Amino acid sequence: MHRQPEWFVERSRLFLRCLLMFDRVSFLTHQLLIATAVSVFPLSSCFAQTNIVLIMADDVGCDPIGAYGGERWKTPQIDRLASEGVLFRHCYSMPVCHPTRLCLMTGKYPFRFDANWGSFPKAEEEHSLAAVLKRCGYRTAIAGKWQLCLLNDDRMQPKRMGFDEWCLFGWHEGARYHDPWIYQTGKLRSNTAGRYGPEEYVDFLGKFMEKCKKEEQPFFAYYSMALAHDVTNDLATQVPYVPGKNRWMNYGEMIESMDEMVGRVVRSIDDLGLRENTVILFTGDNGTAVRSKLRHRPKSGYEFEKVYSIRNGKRVPGGKGSLLDIGTNVPLIARWPGTIEPASHNNALVDFSDWLPTLVEIAGGHVERELDGRSFAGLLLDSTSEPLRQFAFSQGRKGGAWARTQKYKL
C-alpha cells in the first residue's frame, strides 16, 4: 500500500480538526472542549501559594521585543525577563483587543458569547479568571486597561468579576496617559492632574503586592497595560499631549515606556523579597499597531505615523487586526526563579483560552467547567513535558478565523 508522506498526514489531521472547530455542534459533540476538575480549592502541590503576576502589553507583537529578534527599539527589561526564564515562540492571541480579553478572562473562545464590543457576558462574571483565583484563596488586583465596560456606567463590574482592588483608566471616557481618567476601586480619582497613567498603575500594583506580603496572603496582580496603544480618538475633548511637546507619544516612545514599566514591576517584586515565590508572565493582546496617532489638527484632523519594526534584519509592518502571524503571534515570557530554567525556549502551542486553566493550576486549584483552554503550567515546571494542545485557534472581528499547528494553518 502506498504510504502518504508525513506532511500530508499532518495537514490532513489539522484539516479534519478544523472542520470540527468551525462546526460548533460537532465541536461540542466531539468533546474538543476541556473538562477540567470541578470545584476550586487550594491543593497541596508545588504550585500552592505561588504569587502570580500577569503583564499584558497592548498592541505589542513579538517583533518589537529584543528577545524575539526586535532591533528597532530597546527592550532591556523584557529581554532580561526572558534571560531569567522561558520564552515561548508559539503563543497566539485574537487579532484585536476585546476578543482577546474575553478569551483570557473566560477560558473560552469569543464565538461562544453574544458579547458586543467592550462588554462582558453577565453569566460569566462569577466564573472569570479573577473570581476563580479569589476562590483559590488569592487576593486579586488589576491596573491599567479594562475595556469590558464603560466604568462610569458600571463602576463595580471588576468586583463582580473577582477583583478586590482596581486602578483602571476610563476606556473611551478619558485619557490613559497624561492627566489620566482613573477609576480606583469604584471611585473616579480627582488627583491625577500632571501625572502619568502608567506610573500610577505600576505604583498601585506595588502597594497592593506590599500589602499582601504584610498580610501573608498570596496574590494575583494583573497589569493590563495601556502601553503601547495610542490615545482614544472619539472624545469631545482631545486628551493632553506629552508635556512640553506638540504631540502624543509615538510608538517607539511607548515601547520604551512599556519596557520601563515592566522593569518597575519586576523590581517591586524583587525588592519585596518575593522573587522566588512569584511567577511573572509577560504577553501581548494582539499584534503590533499598524499606525499610531501623533497629533490632532482642528482643520485637517488626525496625523498618524505608520508603525513598523525591524526583526532579525527585516522590516515588519504592524499587523494588528490581521489573521496573519503579525496580527496574532504574541510574546509569552515567564520567569519563576528556582522553577523555570533560565534562558530556555519552548515551541509548544499556546492560545489565549489557556490562560485561565494555567493560572488556576499554578494557584493550586481546579475549575469544574468545560473550557476551550488547556493548562500549560506543566511546561513551566518541565519544558520537555508533553504539550496538551494539538492546535491553536484565533478569531477575527468580522467572522474570519484560523486553526493551526506550529507548522500548518487553515
Report residue 317 CA to chain centroid gap. 21
Residue that is written with C-alpha cell 508603525 in the block: 307
Domain count, the chain: 1
* Contact between residue 377 and residue 355 where contact means Cβ atoms under 8 Å apart: no
In this prediction, residue 357 carries a pLDDT of 97
Tell me the per-residue pLDDT of 192-245, one tens digit each, with 9 for 90 and over: 999 999 999 999 999 999 999 999 999 999 999 999 999 988 888 899 999 999
Is residue 122 one of the residues assigned to a domain? yes
| Percent of the chain clearing pLDDT 70 (strictly above) | 88
Q: Would the pTM of this model clear 0.85, i.e. be above it?
A: yes
Report residue 210 CA to chain centroid gap. 23
Tell me the per-residue pLDDT of 8-28, one tens digit each, with 9 for 90 and over: 445 545 554 554 554 443 333
Is residue 25 one of the residues assigned to a domain? no
Of 95 and 369, the one with more pLDDT: 95
Is residue 312 one of the residues assigned to a domain? yes
Indicate the burial class of 8 (C-beta count within 10 angstroms; 0-12, 13-18, 19 or more): exposed
Q: Which residue, among 327, 308, 209, 200, has the nearest Cα to 268 in the 3D structure?
A: 209
Whether residue 394 has pLDDT greater than 70: yes
pLDDT band (50, 70, 90) for residue 313: very high
Strand bridging mode 308-311 / 314-317: antiparallel
Phi-psi region of 148 (alpha: psi -120 to 50; beta: other; left: phi over 0): alpha
Whether residue 383 has pLDDT greater than 90: no
Of 232 and 167, the one with more pLDDT: 167
CATH of the domain at 381: 3.40.720.10
Range of the domain at 110: 35-143+216-397
* Contact between residue 209 and residue 221 where contact means Cβ atoms under 8 Å apart: yes
The span from the CA of 393 to the CA of 353, in Å, is 9
In this prediction, residue 360 carries a pLDDT of 97
| Percent of the chain clearing pLDDT 90 (strictly above) | 80
How is 276-317 classified by DSSP, letter by letter? GGEEEEEEESSSPPSEEEEEEETTTEEEEEE-EEEETTEEEE
Whether residue 277 has pLDDT greater than 70: yes
pLDDT band (50, 70, 90) for residue 385: confident
The span from the CA of 161 to the CA of 154, in Å, is 12
Mean pLDDT of the chain: 89
The span from the CA of 283 to the CA of 228, in Å, is 13
Question: Is the Cα torsion angle 56, 60, 63, 67 positive or negative in sign?
Answer: negative
Cα–Cα distance list, 143 to 65, 73, 139, 154 (Å) = 22, 25, 14, 17
Is residue 167 one of the residues assigned to a domain? no
- Classify 401 as helix, strand or coil: strand
Q: For residue 407, give every residue at least 6 positions away whose Cβ sits within 8 Å of its Cβ, in sequence order, or none.
A: 10
Is residue 314 one of the residues assigned to a domain? yes
Locate 244 and state its grid cell. Answer: 512640553
In this prediction, residue 28 carries a pLDDT of 32
Whether residue 251 has pLDDT greater than 50: yes
Is residue 172 one of the residues assigned to a domain? no
Is residue 157 one of the residues assigned to a domain? no
Is residue 184 one of the residues assigned to a domain? no
Amino acid occupying residue 52: I
In this prediction, residue 27 carries a pLDDT of 37
Residue that is written with C-alpha cell 486579586 in the block: 140
Tell me the per-residue pLDDT of 318-335, one tens digit each, with 9 for 90 and over: 999 999 999 999 999 999
Whether residue 36 has pLDDT greater than 80: no
Report residue 119 CA to chain centroid gap. 17
In this prediction, residue 10 carries a pLDDT of 58
Beta-bridge partners for 224? 56, 144
Average pLDDT of 29-58?
Answer: 59
